[in-house]
Copies of this chain bind each other. A is one copy, B any other.
Amino acid sequence: MTRPAFATWLSDTNDVTQTFLAAGQIPGLINLAGGLPDPVTWPVDDLSKLAAKAVANHPAEALAYAPIDGLPILRDLIAARFSVPGLTLTRDNVLITTGGMQALDLIGKALLEQGSLVATQSPAYLGAFDAWRPRLPRYRAMILEADDFDPVQTLAEAQFAYTVPNFSNPSGRLVSLAQRQALVGAAHRTGTWLVEDDPYGTLYYDGAPLPRMLTLSGQQGGHPYDGPVIYLGTLSKELAPGFRIGWVIAAPEMIAALVTAKQGSDMSTSGLCQRIAHDAISTGLTDRVLPGILDLYRTRRDALCAAMAAHLSDLFDWEVPSGGMFVWASARDSRLNTDDLLQVAMAHGVCVSPSSVFDPEGLNRRSIRVNFTLNDPETMIEGTRRLAVAAREVLSREV
Protein backbone atom coordinates (compact mmCIF):
# COMPACT_ATOMS: atom_id res chain seq x y z
CA MET A 1 0.00 0.00 0.00
CA THR A 2 1.42 3.37 -1.06
CA ARG A 3 -0.15 6.61 0.01
CA PRO A 4 -0.95 9.31 -2.57
CA ALA A 5 1.77 11.89 -3.17
CA PHE A 6 1.52 15.27 -1.53
CA ALA A 7 1.16 18.28 -3.83
CA THR A 8 4.40 19.33 -5.55
CA TRP A 9 4.70 22.72 -3.86
CA LEU A 10 5.10 21.09 -0.45
CA SER A 11 8.54 19.82 -1.42
CA ASP A 12 9.52 23.40 -2.25
CA THR A 13 9.20 24.88 1.24
CA ASN A 14 12.05 26.05 3.42
CA ASP A 15 12.17 25.03 7.04
CA VAL A 16 13.39 28.32 8.49
CA THR A 17 10.04 29.17 10.05
CA GLN A 18 10.06 25.77 11.74
CA THR A 19 13.64 26.43 12.92
CA PHE A 20 12.52 29.72 14.44
CA LEU A 21 9.59 28.09 16.18
CA ALA A 22 11.81 25.38 17.58
CA ALA A 23 14.18 28.13 18.72
CA GLY A 24 11.44 29.35 21.03
CA GLN A 25 11.76 26.11 22.97
CA ILE A 26 15.56 26.34 23.55
CA PRO A 27 16.27 27.58 27.10
CA GLY A 28 18.36 30.75 27.21
CA LEU A 29 18.30 31.34 23.47
CA ILE A 30 17.98 35.04 22.58
CA ASN A 31 15.49 35.36 19.76
CA LEU A 32 16.22 38.35 17.52
CA ALA A 33 14.76 36.51 14.52
CA GLY A 34 11.01 36.90 14.83
CA GLY A 35 8.68 39.82 14.35
CA LEU A 36 6.80 39.62 17.62
CA PRO A 37 5.39 42.47 19.70
CA ASP A 38 6.30 42.81 23.36
CA PRO A 39 3.33 41.52 25.39
CA VAL A 40 3.81 44.43 27.78
CA THR A 41 2.13 46.63 25.14
CA TRP A 42 -1.17 44.74 25.39
CA PRO A 43 -3.96 46.48 27.38
CA VAL A 44 -5.03 43.24 29.04
CA ASP A 45 -7.66 44.62 31.44
CA ASP A 46 -9.36 46.68 28.75
CA LEU A 47 -9.37 43.76 26.33
CA SER A 48 -10.76 41.39 28.94
CA LYS A 49 -13.70 43.76 29.49
CA LEU A 50 -14.23 44.24 25.74
CA ALA A 51 -14.24 40.45 25.24
CA ALA A 52 -16.87 39.94 27.95
CA LYS A 53 -19.05 42.74 26.56
CA ALA A 54 -18.73 41.54 22.97
CA VAL A 55 -20.32 38.20 23.94
CA ALA A 56 -22.84 39.52 26.49
CA ASN A 57 -24.08 42.56 24.56
CA HIS A 58 -23.67 41.38 20.96
CA PRO A 59 -24.15 37.59 20.87
CA ALA A 60 -25.72 37.71 17.41
CA GLU A 61 -22.46 39.16 16.07
CA ALA A 62 -19.95 37.46 18.36
CA LEU A 63 -21.27 33.89 18.37
CA ALA A 64 -22.86 33.42 14.92
CA TYR A 65 -21.23 32.85 11.54
CA ALA A 66 -20.19 36.33 10.46
CA PRO A 67 -20.92 37.41 6.88
CA ILE A 68 -18.11 36.19 4.59
CA ASP A 69 -16.93 39.74 3.96
CA GLY A 70 -17.05 40.73 7.64
CA LEU A 71 -19.31 42.46 10.14
CA PRO A 72 -20.86 45.53 8.46
CA ILE A 73 -20.04 47.74 11.47
CA LEU A 74 -16.36 46.84 11.24
CA ARG A 75 -16.24 47.28 7.46
CA ASP A 76 -17.86 50.71 7.84
CA LEU A 77 -15.39 51.65 10.56
CA ILE A 78 -12.37 50.65 8.46
CA ALA A 79 -13.79 52.49 5.43
CA ALA A 80 -14.22 55.66 7.51
CA ARG A 81 -10.79 55.34 9.15
CA PHE A 82 -8.93 55.15 5.84
CA SER A 83 -11.02 57.72 3.96
CA VAL A 84 -9.19 61.04 3.54
CA PRO A 85 -9.75 64.07 1.32
CA GLY A 86 -9.52 62.72 -2.22
CA LEU A 87 -10.28 59.15 -1.19
CA THR A 88 -13.81 58.12 -0.28
CA LEU A 89 -14.26 54.51 0.79
CA THR A 90 -17.43 52.56 1.49
CA ARG A 91 -18.00 49.13 2.99
CA ASP A 92 -17.94 47.73 -0.56
CA ASN A 93 -14.23 48.54 -0.59
CA VAL A 94 -13.52 46.51 2.57
CA LEU A 95 -13.04 42.81 3.35
CA ILE A 96 -12.19 41.59 6.86
CA THR A 97 -9.58 38.80 6.86
CA THR A 98 -8.28 36.29 9.39
CA GLY A 99 -5.06 38.23 10.02
CA GLY A 100 -2.99 39.92 7.37
CA MET A 101 -1.64 36.58 6.18
CA GLN A 102 -5.03 35.45 4.93
CA ALA A 103 -5.22 38.46 2.62
CA LEU A 104 -2.02 37.26 0.90
CA ASP A 105 -3.49 33.76 0.52
CA LEU A 106 -6.73 35.12 -0.96
CA ILE A 107 -4.86 37.38 -3.41
CA GLY A 108 -2.90 34.34 -4.59
CA LYS A 109 -6.07 32.33 -5.04
CA ALA A 110 -7.85 35.11 -6.92
CA LEU A 111 -5.04 36.20 -9.24
CA LEU A 112 -2.52 33.39 -9.74
CA GLU A 113 -2.44 30.40 -12.01
CA GLN A 114 0.55 28.09 -11.91
CA GLY A 115 3.49 30.02 -13.34
CA SER A 116 1.83 33.47 -13.18
CA LEU A 117 4.19 36.43 -12.82
CA VAL A 118 4.43 38.43 -9.57
CA ALA A 119 6.62 41.52 -9.20
CA THR A 120 7.89 41.87 -5.62
CA GLN A 121 9.99 44.31 -3.73
CA SER A 122 13.25 42.52 -3.05
CA PRO A 123 14.04 41.36 -0.42
CA ALA A 124 10.45 40.55 0.55
CA TYR A 125 8.40 39.08 3.38
CA LEU A 126 8.82 35.30 3.50
CA GLY A 127 5.20 34.85 4.59
CA ALA A 128 4.11 36.17 1.20
CA PHE A 129 6.14 33.44 -0.50
CA ASP A 130 4.54 30.92 1.87
CA ALA A 131 1.08 32.17 0.91
CA TRP A 132 1.66 31.99 -2.86
CA ARG A 133 3.76 28.82 -3.04
CA PRO A 134 0.73 26.51 -3.59
CA ARG A 135 0.13 28.45 -6.87
CA LEU A 136 3.83 28.10 -7.91
CA PRO A 137 4.22 31.62 -9.38
CA ARG A 138 7.27 33.16 -11.07
CA TYR A 139 8.84 36.21 -9.41
CA ARG A 140 10.34 39.38 -10.85
CA ALA A 141 12.39 41.40 -8.36
CA MET A 142 11.69 45.12 -7.90
CA ILE A 143 14.88 46.85 -6.72
CA LEU A 144 13.28 50.21 -5.92
CA GLU A 145 16.57 51.80 -4.88
CA ALA A 146 18.39 50.85 -8.10
CA ASP A 147 19.32 53.80 -10.31
CA ASP A 148 17.82 52.16 -13.37
CA PHE A 149 14.56 51.01 -11.72
CA ASP A 150 11.76 51.34 -14.28
CA PRO A 151 8.37 50.89 -12.61
CA VAL A 152 6.36 50.55 -15.83
CA GLN A 153 8.70 47.93 -17.27
CA THR A 154 8.76 46.08 -13.93
CA LEU A 155 4.98 46.00 -13.47
CA ALA A 156 4.17 45.19 -17.10
CA GLU A 157 2.56 41.76 -17.53
CA ALA A 158 2.68 40.95 -13.81
CA GLN A 159 -0.60 39.88 -12.20
CA PHE A 160 0.26 42.13 -9.28
CA ALA A 161 3.16 43.95 -7.68
CA TYR A 162 3.85 43.33 -3.98
CA THR A 163 5.24 46.09 -1.78
CA VAL A 164 5.61 46.96 1.92
CA PRO A 165 6.21 50.71 1.62
CA ASN A 166 6.40 51.42 5.36
CA PHE A 167 9.51 49.81 6.92
CA SER A 168 9.55 46.83 4.67
CA ASN A 169 9.94 43.39 6.14
CA PRO A 170 12.85 42.50 6.14
CA SER A 171 14.76 45.61 5.02
CA GLY A 172 13.16 48.21 7.30
CA ARG A 173 13.23 50.50 4.27
CA LEU A 174 10.78 53.39 3.88
CA VAL A 175 9.67 53.82 0.27
CA SER A 176 9.88 57.52 -0.61
CA LEU A 177 6.94 59.65 -1.72
CA ALA A 178 8.42 59.94 -5.23
CA GLN A 179 8.73 56.16 -5.50
CA ARG A 180 5.18 55.67 -4.22
CA GLN A 181 3.91 58.08 -6.86
CA ALA A 182 5.93 56.30 -9.54
CA LEU A 183 4.53 52.90 -8.53
CA VAL A 184 0.96 54.20 -8.51
CA GLY A 185 1.52 55.80 -11.90
CA ALA A 186 2.89 52.54 -13.29
CA ALA A 187 -0.08 50.61 -11.88
CA HIS A 188 -2.50 53.02 -13.56
CA ARG A 189 -0.60 52.79 -16.83
CA THR A 190 -0.09 49.00 -16.94
CA GLY A 191 -3.33 47.90 -15.24
CA THR A 192 -1.33 45.71 -12.87
CA TRP A 193 -2.74 45.45 -9.35
CA LEU A 194 -0.50 47.06 -6.72
CA VAL A 195 -0.52 45.32 -3.32
CA GLU A 196 0.35 47.71 -0.47
CA ASP A 197 0.98 45.51 2.55
CA ASP A 198 1.08 47.83 5.55
CA PRO A 199 1.45 46.04 8.89
CA TYR A 200 3.91 48.66 10.16
CA GLY A 201 2.06 51.77 8.95
CA THR A 202 1.47 53.08 12.47
CA LEU A 203 5.03 52.39 13.67
CA TYR A 204 6.74 55.67 12.61
CA TYR A 205 9.28 56.64 15.31
CA ASP A 206 10.91 59.72 13.82
CA GLY A 207 8.48 61.67 11.68
CA ALA A 208 5.08 62.05 10.11
CA PRO A 209 3.73 59.16 8.01
CA LEU A 210 4.05 59.39 4.24
CA PRO A 211 0.81 59.13 2.27
CA ARG A 212 -0.37 55.64 1.47
CA MET A 213 -0.30 54.49 -2.16
CA LEU A 214 -4.02 53.79 -1.62
CA THR A 215 -4.51 57.50 -0.95
CA LEU A 216 -2.26 58.57 -3.83
CA SER A 217 -4.17 56.35 -6.26
CA GLY A 218 -7.57 57.51 -5.00
CA GLN A 219 -7.07 61.04 -6.19
CA GLN A 220 -7.63 59.84 -9.74
CA GLY A 221 -10.44 57.49 -8.74
CA GLY A 222 -14.19 57.59 -8.41
CA HIS A 223 -16.54 56.68 -5.63
CA PRO A 224 -16.45 54.06 -4.31
CA TYR A 225 -12.72 53.67 -4.79
CA ASP A 226 -11.98 51.76 -7.99
CA GLY A 227 -8.19 52.14 -8.29
CA PRO A 228 -5.39 49.58 -8.68
CA VAL A 229 -4.14 49.46 -5.06
CA ILE A 230 -4.98 46.47 -2.86
CA TYR A 231 -4.24 47.78 0.64
CA LEU A 232 -3.66 45.31 3.51
CA GLY A 233 -3.92 46.30 7.17
CA THR A 234 -3.81 44.36 10.42
CA LEU A 235 -4.65 44.74 14.09
CA SER A 236 -1.67 42.55 15.06
CA LYS A 237 0.84 45.40 15.41
CA GLU A 238 -1.63 48.06 16.61
CA LEU A 239 -3.25 45.98 19.35
CA ALA A 240 -2.48 42.23 19.54
CA PRO A 241 -2.00 39.34 17.12
CA GLY A 242 -4.23 36.87 18.97
CA PHE A 243 -7.43 38.22 17.43
CA ARG A 244 -6.27 37.42 13.88
CA ILE A 245 -7.98 40.47 12.40
CA GLY A 246 -6.82 42.05 9.16
CA TRP A 247 -8.50 43.98 6.38
CA VAL A 248 -8.26 44.51 2.64
CA ILE A 249 -9.22 47.82 1.04
CA ALA A 250 -9.60 47.61 -2.74
CA ALA A 251 -11.87 48.14 -5.74
CA PRO A 252 -15.25 46.41 -5.35
CA GLU A 253 -14.50 43.93 -8.18
CA MET A 254 -11.34 42.83 -6.33
CA ILE A 255 -13.19 42.61 -2.99
CA ALA A 256 -15.85 40.42 -4.67
CA ALA A 257 -13.19 38.02 -6.01
CA LEU A 258 -11.48 37.83 -2.61
CA VAL A 259 -14.85 37.16 -0.93
CA THR A 260 -15.40 34.17 -3.23
CA ALA A 261 -11.92 32.92 -2.31
CA LYS A 262 -12.61 33.46 1.41
CA GLN A 263 -15.91 31.55 1.21
CA GLY A 264 -13.94 28.36 0.52
CA SER A 265 -11.03 29.22 2.83
CA ASP A 266 -12.57 29.67 6.28
CA MET A 267 -16.16 30.81 5.55
CA SER A 268 -15.82 33.86 7.80
CA THR A 269 -13.56 35.45 10.39
CA SER A 270 -14.49 35.04 14.07
CA GLY A 271 -17.40 37.32 14.91
CA LEU A 272 -16.14 37.60 18.49
CA CYS A 273 -12.76 38.86 17.33
CA GLN A 274 -14.35 41.23 14.81
CA ARG A 275 -16.64 42.73 17.45
CA ILE A 276 -13.68 43.22 19.84
CA ALA A 277 -11.65 44.81 17.03
CA HIS A 278 -14.52 47.17 16.26
CA ASP A 279 -14.96 48.19 19.87
CA ALA A 280 -11.21 48.60 20.45
CA ILE A 281 -10.92 50.97 17.50
CA SER A 282 -14.20 52.85 17.96
CA THR A 283 -13.70 53.47 21.70
CA GLY A 284 -10.24 54.87 21.03
CA LEU A 285 -8.33 52.05 22.73
CA THR A 286 -5.96 51.55 19.79
CA ASP A 287 -5.25 55.29 19.66
CA ARG A 288 -4.62 55.38 23.42
CA VAL A 289 -2.07 52.55 23.41
CA LEU A 290 -0.14 53.73 20.35
CA PRO A 291 2.02 56.44 21.98
CA GLY A 292 3.29 53.93 24.55
CA ILE A 293 4.10 51.42 21.82
CA LEU A 294 6.00 54.06 19.84
CA ASP A 295 8.00 55.22 22.88
CA LEU A 296 8.94 51.66 23.80
CA TYR A 297 9.96 50.56 20.32
CA ARG A 298 11.83 53.81 19.54
CA THR A 299 13.94 53.29 22.68
CA ARG A 300 14.59 49.70 21.70
CA ARG A 301 15.47 50.56 18.11
CA ASP A 302 18.06 52.99 19.51
CA ALA A 303 19.33 50.41 22.01
CA LEU A 304 19.77 47.74 19.33
CA CYS A 305 21.55 50.10 16.96
CA ALA A 306 23.87 51.24 19.78
CA ALA A 307 24.64 47.62 20.66
CA MET A 308 25.29 46.80 17.01
CA ALA A 309 27.57 49.83 16.72
CA ALA A 310 29.50 48.54 19.73
CA HIS A 311 29.79 44.89 18.69
CA LEU A 312 29.11 44.49 14.97
CA SER A 313 30.35 47.62 13.18
CA ASP A 314 33.46 45.90 11.79
CA LEU A 315 31.35 42.98 10.53
CA PHE A 316 28.14 44.50 9.13
CA ASP A 317 26.74 47.65 7.53
CA TRP A 318 23.21 48.84 8.21
CA GLU A 319 20.96 51.88 8.17
CA VAL A 320 18.98 52.96 11.21
CA PRO A 321 15.31 52.40 10.28
CA SER A 322 12.86 55.19 11.04
CA GLY A 323 10.09 52.77 11.96
CA GLY A 324 8.90 49.18 11.97
CA MET A 325 10.41 46.25 13.84
CA PHE A 326 13.69 45.37 12.11
CA VAL A 327 17.26 46.38 11.34
CA TRP A 328 18.64 44.90 8.10
CA ALA A 329 22.41 44.40 8.18
CA SER A 330 24.71 43.22 5.38
CA ALA A 331 28.08 41.56 5.93
CA ARG A 332 31.08 43.65 4.93
CA ASP A 333 32.94 40.45 4.00
CA SER A 334 31.18 38.54 1.23
CA ARG A 335 32.49 35.26 2.68
CA LEU A 336 30.16 35.65 5.69
CA ASN A 337 27.35 33.35 4.55
CA THR A 338 24.41 34.16 6.79
CA ASP A 339 22.79 30.73 6.43
CA ASP A 340 25.95 29.35 8.04
CA LEU A 341 25.86 32.19 10.57
CA LEU A 342 22.36 31.19 11.70
CA GLN A 343 23.52 27.67 12.54
CA VAL A 344 26.60 28.84 14.43
CA ALA A 345 24.70 31.64 16.15
CA MET A 346 22.10 29.19 17.46
CA ALA A 347 24.92 27.16 19.01
CA HIS A 348 26.02 30.40 20.69
CA GLY A 349 22.51 31.11 21.98
CA VAL A 350 21.20 33.74 19.58
CA CYS A 351 18.89 33.57 16.58
CA VAL A 352 18.50 36.02 13.64
CA SER A 353 16.81 35.72 10.24
CA PRO A 354 19.14 35.00 7.28
CA SER A 355 18.56 36.87 4.02
CA SER A 356 18.12 33.73 1.91
CA VAL A 357 14.54 33.29 3.12
CA PHE A 358 13.52 36.74 1.89
CA ASP A 359 14.75 36.13 -1.67
CA PRO A 360 12.48 34.10 -3.96
CA GLU A 361 15.58 32.59 -5.56
CA GLY A 362 17.34 32.11 -2.20
CA LEU A 363 20.50 33.71 -3.58
CA ASN A 364 21.12 36.50 -1.10
CA ARG A 365 23.32 34.96 1.62
CA ARG A 366 24.97 38.10 2.94
CA SER A 367 22.41 39.85 5.14
CA ILE A 368 20.48 39.37 8.35
CA ARG A 369 17.22 40.74 9.76
CA VAL A 370 17.42 41.70 13.44
CA ASN A 371 14.26 42.40 15.46
CA PHE A 372 14.15 45.05 18.18
CA THR A 373 10.57 44.94 19.48
CA LEU A 374 10.49 41.77 21.59
CA ASN A 375 13.54 41.98 23.88
CA ASP A 376 14.72 44.49 26.47
CA PRO A 377 17.97 46.41 25.81
CA GLU A 378 20.17 44.21 28.05
CA THR A 379 19.06 41.10 26.16
CA MET A 380 19.72 42.76 22.80
CA ILE A 381 23.21 43.83 23.94
CA GLU A 382 24.02 40.25 24.93
CA GLY A 383 22.46 38.99 21.69
CA THR A 384 24.61 41.21 19.49
CA ARG A 385 27.71 40.20 21.50
CA ARG A 386 26.95 36.52 20.85
CA LEU A 387 26.26 37.28 17.20
CA ALA A 388 29.69 38.92 16.83
CA VAL A 389 31.37 35.83 18.31
CA ALA A 390 29.45 33.59 15.92
CA ALA A 391 30.24 35.76 12.88
CA ARG A 392 33.98 35.70 13.68
CA GLU A 393 33.79 31.94 14.03
CA VAL A 394 32.14 31.57 10.60
CA LEU A 395 34.74 33.88 9.01
CA SER A 396 37.66 32.09 10.68
CA ARG A 397 36.53 28.85 9.04
CA GLU A 398 36.60 30.54 5.64
CA VAL A 399 40.20 31.73 5.94
Contact = CB atoms under 8 A, between A and B. Distances in A.
A252 interface: no
Given A51-B272, A244-B266, A264-B133, A44 B63 contact: yes
Given A48-B55, A243-B270, 9 more contacts: A6-B257, A10-B257, A48-B52, A51-B52, A64-B240, A98-B98, A101-B265, A134-B261, A270-B273
Give the number of times this chain occurs in the complex, counting copies: 2
A189 interface: yes
Given A188-B1, A266-B98, A241 B48 contact: no
Interface in A46-86: 47-49, 51-56, 59-68
The 3 A-B residue pairs whose C-beta atoms are closest, nearest first, are A130-B264, A52-B52, A242-B271
A176 interface: no
27 contacts: A1-B190, A2-B191, A3-B193, A3-B228, A4-B158, A4-B191, A4-B192, A7-B109, A8-B113, A13-B260, A39-B60, A39-B63, A44-B56, A47-B55, A48-B53, A48-B56, A62-B242, A64-B240, A98-B244, A101-B267, A134-B261, A134-B264, A243-B270, A244-B266, A244-B269, A270-B270, A273-B273
Contacts of A7: 109-113
A21 interface: yes
Contacts of A276: 272
Nearest to A268: B244
A236 B268 CA distance: 12
Interface string A249-267: 0000000010011011111
Contacts of A241: 63-65, 271
Chain A interface residue number, banded: 35 or more
Contacts of A170: none
